[in-house]
Structure 1
Amino acid sequence: MAKKAEATVEDKLRALYDLQLIDSRVDEIRNVRGELPLEVEDLEDDVLGLKTRLDKLKTDVETVNFEIGAKKNLIEEAKTLIKKYAEQQKNVRNSREFNSISKELEFQELEIQLAEKNIKEFKAQIEQKKVVISETKERLSQRDAHLKHKKSELNAILAETEKEEKALLEESEKYQGKIEDRLVKAYARIRTNVKNGLAVVPIERGASGGSFFTIPPQVQVEIASRKKIITDEHSGRILVDPVLAEEEAVKMGKLFAKL
């Protein structure tokens, strides 16, 4: 059985640049989405928080209304007792009984006064809470409308790009499989450490792509020979010659058009 031919340095450079083009396309798609997913998540948290606050405020109002009801019942009970004691006072036999009933009447009058004061305070609390409820409802309505708008925006972008992104990620895995692990790891490390995730760049006007540092002519010749993998001494990026870059860009452009 014939032994499979080992990949040449040029093959590796082409595969690395292809991988870079694929991953850069994924980056572009994600940049279009930008901060939208995080914005949607934050808005969802805001809406949930406002709904929870609204529920608590409504529960607070119900609790205060229950307290008002209890105080009204207490007033009615006190009035009944006052009526009862007033009748008893008419039939007292001595001053001690009269004074005792008078104290009870006084106590019930104070109970009514205190309950009426509590009711007044409770009603003021309800009015305050109603203002907060109204403001919270208005804010919730605004945040909910904003959330729906942002969700619609995100869903439209996802509908346009999700399928392509998934296909690109599959291609990225496929191309990584064509490259030895050592180079894939180096590529991933460089990509993490450099601006715009560009780990493999062509020479442009005698300098590393996206850089102003000129590459010596001798090094440019070595890069064009495609005999070894050369990195930029300033940025650490892997360098490819412009001809190879153009050829692979055309090839990958055709691939992207099919996705």
Structure 2
Amino acid sequence: MAKSKEVTVEERLRSLYDLQLIDSRIDEIRNVRGELPLEVSDLEDEVAGLKTRLEKLQSSLESVETDITGKKNLIEEAKTLIKKYSEQQKNVRNNREFDSLTKEVEYQELEIELAEKHIREFKAQIEQKKEVIAKTKEHVDQRVNHLKHKKSELDAILSETEKEEKALIKKSEEYKKKIEERLVAAYTRIRKNVKNGLAVVPIERGASGGSYFTIPPQVQMEIGARKKIITDEHSGRILVDGLLAQEEKEKMEKMFKKL
């Protein structure tokens, strides 16, 4: 049986740097989207809340209009009773009956007066509520238009990047399978703990990428030899030499163009 080919340190470094380039590309795409998905979600919640408020205001307006109808009915009933008591006064047998009917008429007149006062108050409430409803409707329209604009913006970005992002995520998983689990775990841990998610960086001007700490010449030579995996003692990032990084960048750029 043929022995499976042993993966060299250089091959591991290349695979790790390729994985970094893929994941960095995914990060770039997500950064383009930025806060837009969250903005859209917040706007949707805001619009839903405003619409609920509008419904409550409309319901409250209808309730006041129902109260006015009730008071108008009460006035009509009171007028009917006044007419009835006034007719009865014409046929009373004594002053006591007349006075009793007079009190009933006065009571109904007070009921009419009170109902008319309530109707005036209700009408003032209606005007206030209509004003609030009009302002709320205007605010809802503004936020709905803003939401449409933001959704359109997000949809445009998604249509441009979604296909590429999915392909890159698939590639990222494929490349992780090429690397031993121990290294993938280390890479993932470093990525979470460092700025910009850069876990594998090349040496630039004698320092690790994105760092100002100089790497000793002896260590630079060891990195260039590609015989062992070396990490930056300051940031913990995995280090690769500039030439390897350049070769892998060119290779991966060609792959990205095909996605």
For this structure pair, what is the TM-score category when the shorter chain's length is used for normalisation? over 0.9
Which residue identity is paired with 1:145? N
* Greater Cα shift, 94-103 or 194-203: 94-103
Q: Deviations over 1:141-167 (max 9, x none)?
A: 111111111111111111111110010
Does residue 82 (structure 1) correspond to residue 66 (structure 2)? The answer is no
SS at match of 1:203: strand
Alignment of 1:228-239 (within 5 A): 228-239=228-239
Alignment-derived partner of residue 253 in structure 2: 253
SS at match of 1:211: coil
Q: Deviations over 1:59-102 (max 9, x none)?
A: 11111111110110011001100111111122222222222212
Does residue 71 (structure 1) correspond to residue 71 (structure 2)? The answer is yes
Alignment-derived partner of residue 33 in structure 2: 33
Alignment-derived partner of residue 173 in structure 1: 173
Which residue identity is paired with 1:127? E
What is the aligned length? Answer: 259
SS at match of 1:202: strand
Which residue identity is paired with 1:249? K
Alignment of 1:141-156 (within 5 A): 141-156=141-156
Structure 1 residue 122, shift from structure 2 partner: 1.1
Structure-1 separation of matches of 2:185 and 2:236: 14
Does residue 135 (structure 1) correspond to residue 135 (structure 2)? The answer is yes
Structure-1 separation of matches of 2:228 and 2:74: 95
Q: Deviations over 1:143-199 (max 9, x none)?
A: 111111111111111111111001000000000111111111111111111111111
Does residue 240 (structure 1) correspond to residue 240 (structure 2)? The answer is yes
Q: Deviations over 1:10-58 (max 9, x none)?
A: 1111111000000000111111111111111111112111111111111
Alignment-derived partner of residue 227 in structure 2: 227
- RMSD, aligned CA: 1.0
Q: Deviations over 1:226-255 (max 9, x none)?
A: 111111111111111111101110110110
Q: Deviations over 1:204-225 (max 9, x none)?
A: 0000100101111111111111
Give the fraction of aligned pairs with identical amino acids, expressed as a percent: 76
Does residue 123 (structure 1) correspond to residue 123 (structure 2)? The answer is yes
Which residue identity is paired with 2:155? N
Structure-1 separation of matches of 2:183 and 2:193: 15
Alignment-derived partner of residue 20 in structure 1: 20
Q: Which runs of 5+ in 1 are unaligned?
A: none
SS at match of 1:213: coil
Q: Deviations over 1:105-142 (max 9, x none)?
A: 12211211111111111111111111111111111111
**TM-score normalised by length of structure 1:** 0.97
Structure-1 separation of matches of 2:199 and 2:98: 101
Structure-2 separation of matches of 1:107 and 1:5: 108
* Greater Cα shift, 236-245 or 106-115: 106-115
Which residue identity is paired with 1:144? V
* Greater Cα shift, 124-133 or 85-94: 85-94
**TM-score normalised by length of structure 2:** 0.97
SS at match of 1:93: coil
SS at match of 2:7: coil
SS at match of 1:239: strand
Structure 1 residue 258, shift from structure 2 partner: 0.3
Which residue identity is paired with 2:186? A
Q: Which runs of 5+ in 2 are unaligned?
A: none
SS at match of 1:214: coil
